[in-house]
């Protein structure tokens, strides 16, 4: 059997919903973009980046959910892969640095409200959206959220397949048994000549999982 740890933004979705929310609702566009520059320069963690960026959001919960539902584009084949994993006894887990407000709304709209998932926990305040990270055991975290989730899943004693696209997916992927990558994550694994599969749709993902399950 296998356990899948799958990223959300730019992986399950075609675009980054967190970034789209910031572009539409952040009170100060230059401020959140400066935070983004600090993250990509390696000056702050992805978790700190999310905390600082979403603090600039002046939006209510319903507006977040409505925006997500109306703008999201799901990567082709995602629901079919979830069905395949359920039929084959593969544990499929969404692990995202994004916030639960839009992730939960999208999964509910897909009829996947029961899908196991771990993400940032968002609280609407009068000063913006507050973001907290808590590991699967309930321990608050400042950073390394995805690695903490991976290590929690490793306790199930099944090979871990890490699916993702971004720089933040690389650390957990390096500790996983198998990697399915695209975009920046794919570039990293190709550049360092590390074992991996590539994907553009979830039909690609299904083929790789079938091979891993039956090889």
Considering its fold, how many domains does the chain have in total? 1
Q: What is the pLDDT of residue 27?
A: 85
pLDDT class of 215 with cuts at 50, 70, 90: confident
Q: What CATH code is carried by the domain that includes residue 155?
A: 3.40.50.1000
Average pLDDT, the chain: 96
Work out whether strand 3-6 and strand 140-141 pair parallel, antiparallel, or are unpaired: unpaired
pLDDT in tens, 126-143: 889 999 999 999 999 999
Cα–Cα dist 165/133, whole Å: 20
Spatial contact of 50 and 168, defined as CB atoms under 8 Å apart: no
What is the average pLDDT across 38-46?
A: 95
> What is the mean predicted confidence (pLDDT) over 18-23?
92
pLDDT of residue 1: 87
* C-beta separation of 2 from 213 below 8 A: yes
The stretch 150-162 carries a mean pLDDT of 97
Contact 3, 150 (CB under 8 A): no
What is the reported pLDDT for 189?
Answer: 98
Number of Cβ atoms within 10 Å of the Cβ of 147: 17
Query: What is the length of the chain?
Result: 215
Structural domain range at position 181:
3-214
User: What was the pLDDT predicted at 127?
Assistant: 87
Computed on alpha carbons and rounded to an integer, the radius of gyration of the chain in Å comes to 17
**To the nearest whole percent, how much of the chain has pLDDT over 70?**
100
User: What's residue 58's pLDDT?
Assistant: 87
- Per-residue pLDDT at 118 exceeds 90: yes
Percentage, residues of the chain above pLDDT 90: 94
* pLDDT tens digits for range 46-60: 999 999 999 999 889
Q: Mind listing the pLDDT tens digit for each residue in 166-191?
A: 999 999 999 999 999 999 999 999 99
The whole model's pTM is what? 0.96
């Amino acid at each position: 059997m296998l356990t899948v740890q799958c990223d959300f933004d730019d992986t399950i979705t075609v675009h980054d919903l967190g970034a789209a929310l910031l572009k539409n609702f952040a009170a100060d566009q230059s401020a959140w973009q400066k935070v983004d520059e600090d993250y990509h320069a390696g000056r702050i963690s992805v978790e700190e980046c999310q905390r600082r960026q979403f603090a600039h959001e002046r939006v209510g919960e319903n507006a977040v959910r409505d925006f997500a539902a109306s703008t999201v584009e799901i990567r082709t084949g995602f629901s079919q892969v979830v069905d395949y994993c359920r039929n084959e006894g593969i544990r499929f887990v969404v692990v995202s640095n994004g916030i639960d407000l839009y992730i939960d709304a999208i999964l509910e709209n897909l009829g996947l409200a029961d899908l196991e998932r771990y993400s940032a926990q968002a609280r609407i305040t009068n000063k913006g959206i507050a973001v907290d990270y808590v590991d699967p055991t309930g321990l608050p975290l400042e950073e390394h959220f995805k690695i903490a989730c991976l290590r929690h899943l490793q306790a199930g004693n099944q090979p871990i397949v890490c699916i993702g696209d971004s720089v933040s997916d690389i650390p957990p992927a390096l500790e996983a048994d198998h990697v399915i990558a695209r975009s920046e994550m794919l570039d990293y694994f190709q550049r360092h000549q590390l074992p991996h599969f590539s994907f553009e749709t979830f039909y690609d993902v299904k083929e790789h999982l079938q091979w891993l399950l039956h090889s």
